[in-house]
Copies of this chain bind each other. A is one copy, B any other.
Amino acid sequence: MATFMDVRHHMDAITAEQPRSAHAADLANEGREGVRVERAWAGPDSGDVFCLSQAPSADAVQRVHERAGHAADEIHPVPYSA
């Protein structure tokens, strides 16, 4: 497993509820891909959403997000953290 940070840009009119429902949609289908979506952060000003996950691959992360209806624009392996 590896750690990934993915980014979605230009999400319009982000509300407090959206990250919760988007995260729930991820959690509902992550299992079949062996992905564990850990946390998401959303910024209504910039329209950017950041999502941290553990996964076998970036493609597996994207498949989870696509099924949940919110494909990522960027997916970065982030093996180092502090």
A23 proximity list for chain B (CB < 8 A) = 82
In contact, B20 and A79 (Cβ under 8 angstroms)? no
Q: Which residues of chain A in 1-19 are interfacial with respect to chain B, using CB atoms and an 8 Å cutoff? A: 3, 5, 14-16, 18-19
Number of copies of chain A assembled together: 2
Tell me, in angstroms, the Cα distance from A76 to B52 when the chains sit together: 16
Contact of A41 among B40, B43, B80 (CB under 8 A): B80
Tell me, in angstroms, the Cα distance from A81 to B43 when the chains sit together: 9
In contact, B80 and A16 (Cβ under 8 angstroms)? yes
In contact, A18 and B80 (Cβ under 8 angstroms)? yes
In contact, B80 and A44 (Cβ under 8 angstroms)? yes
The 8 listed contacts between A and B (C-beta, < 8 Å) are A5-B48, A16-B79, A19-B80, A19-B81, A41-B52, A45-B76, A46-B74, A50-B76
